[in-house]
């Protein structure tokens, strides 16, 4: 993860974390997927949010 630079503070130190609430295709869905946040370790600026498992959204 060395190709990124924080737009807020210029730091190149990023880390990833997940949310405890999975995202789901609909309220009735049993399957959910984690959100992966990539954010600056210095100031907390979020660089990207990624959905871990996109296959459950494909029809
Ligand atoms: Zn930063």
The pLDDT, as a whole number, for residue 40 is 97
Q: How many CB atoms lie within 10 A of CB 4?
A: 14
The pLDDT, as a whole number, for residue 2 is 55
Give the C-alpha separation, 34 to 24, whole Å: 9
Query: 49 C-alpha vs ligand 1 centroid, how far in Å?
Result: 15
Residue 7 lies in a domain: no
Residue 26 lies in a domain: yes
Residue 3 lies in a domain: no
Residue 1 lies in a domain: no
| Nearest residue to 33 via CA among 45, 43, 21, 41 | 21
Domain count for the chain: 1
| Residue-wise pLDDT tens digits, 1-59 | 457 899 999 999 999 999 888 899 999 998 899 999 999 999 999 999 999 999 999 98
Give the C-alpha separation, 34 to 30, whole Å: 13
The pLDDT, as a whole number, for residue 1 is 46
Its pTM stands at 0.78
Residue 4 lies in a domain: no
Query: 10 C-alpha vs ligand 1 centroid, how far in Å?
Result: 6
- Domain hosting 19: range is 14-57
Query: 33 C-alpha vs ligand 1 centroid, how far in Å?
Result: 27
Residue 20 lies in a domain: yes
Query: 2 C-alpha vs ligand 1 centroid, how far in Å?
Result: 14
């Amino acid at each position: 993860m060395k190709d990124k630079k924080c737009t807020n503070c210029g730091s190149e130190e990023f880390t990833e974390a997940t949310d405890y609430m999975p995202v789901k295709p609909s309220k009735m869905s049993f399957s959910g997927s984690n959100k992966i946040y990539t954010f600056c370790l210095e100031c907390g600026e979020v660089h990207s949010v990624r959905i871990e498992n996109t296959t459950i959204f494909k029809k």
